[in-house]
Amino acid sequence: MQEQGVLIYTGNTGSAEQHLNVLEWMKEEFGIRNLPLEIPETFKDWKNFVLNEFKSEKQIVSGFCLNKTEENESFFVAVFRKTTAQRPFELRRTKPQINKNRRTERGMLGKWIKNIEEYTWFEKKGNIYLINPEHENILRIFQQNFQLIKAGLNAGKFAGGDLVPEHELAYSEVLGDQIQKVGLNTEEALKYIRREDFQIDRTVTGWVLISYRNCPLGWAKILSNRINNYYPKEQRMVKDA
């Protein structure tokens, strides 16, 4: 943020003290000062509108709360200006790691992804993420300097010479046409998303994309003696529809 730049802070919480704790940290970390708010008279006629000075041990913050409810929740707004120059920041640059398994990985991904030559990928905690090659350099810089939470499409994990597909890959437009698909009726689809035993066409084997009325639901793996349901446990339906 540039010197003399303006920061508008907003938040929704039941306690102004929570905001003040954050703002005290921001003041020390970024060198900002609170600006007094000038509120139009028409705003002051709104129900449950409160313009106030919120005090803490270290500072007084001019702000306002809007739509205060019986549960003491409110929308909090305060405005600040940066008073110090931006500290210089230098990106660390390191040599990219050489992946000797790139050709093998491309072959495995090509079984799932159409036009795999149009993508590149990187590994994070065992997961393989597809990205646009144009973003590779800037992504590498981010990885080396920041905590990267998520980038690209999580395709899955390599295991046993194949890809174990991730749930979000089932909804992606990059899936190849060669992927086996099995449609379920309403009863079996509900069993699938509950992670219960369900009936399926056993003439196909291996990984299949489960769908309902041509809408993808997730993955299953059909073996000779059982069906492994890969619908995410944390997303399963626990109540009857």
9 within 8 A of 24, measured Cβ to Cβ: no
96 within 8 A of 102, measured Cβ to Cβ: no
Q: Which fold has domain 181-235?
A: 2.30.130
Q: Which residues pair with 113 in a beta bridge?
A: 175
Per-residue pLDDT of the chain (241 residues), as tens digits, is: 778 888 888 777 656 677 777 877 888 788 888 887 776 666 656 555 555 555 555 455 555 555 554 455 566 777 888 888 877 666 666 555 555 568 899 999 999 999 999 999 998 889 999 999 999 888 888 887 778 888 999 999 999 889 999 999 999 999 999 999 999 999 999 999 999 998 887 788 999 999 999 999 999 999 988 999 999 999 988 876 5
Q: Please, is 153 exposed, middle or buried when counting C-beta atoms within 10 Å of its C-beta (0-12, 13-18, 19+)?
A: buried
Domain ranges of the chain: 6-82, 102-171, 181-235
pLDDT at 14: 59
